[in-house]
Amino acid sequence: MKLLTLESYEKEQAIYAAWGTQDWFWTSITDSLKEGHWFWQSTGTDLYPGYANWCDSEPRNGDSEDFMMLQGCWNVIAGSTVLDAICQSIP
């Protein structure tokens, strides 16, 4: 099992249908290796070109905010934050 990836609007909507948007969840997207270069850590694929659903004024570029959480849209957050996670099976 690996942290969630969201490659499409449909997949993101399925997550919200199952878990709602009231809680915040970790995903596997990060720019921890290179600031501003977002990639899905679980699959090793770049975010762009591809589906993204950033909240207004996101993604912010800051040294301490290298990860993305999901709550109706995508927010960057520090890795030290304690959140629930959604995992998926990735071969």
Global pTM?
0.85
Task: Pick 14 or 20 by higher pLDDT.
Answer: 14
pLDDT of residue 8: 94
Pick the CATH number of 2-86 from 3.40.630.30, 3.10.100.10, 1.10.287.110, 2.60.40.10: 3.10.100.10
pLDDT of residue 80: 86
Taking only the tens place, the pLDDT of each residue in 58-85 is: 998 766 889 998 888 999 988 888 888 8
pLDDT of residue 71: 84
CA distance 56 to 41: 23
- The DSSP annotation for 27-38 comes to EEEE-SSSTT--
- The DSSP annotation for 11-64 comes to HHHHHHHHH-SSS-EEEEEE-SSSTT--EETTTTEESSSS---BPTT-S--BTT
Domain boundaries, the chain: 2-86
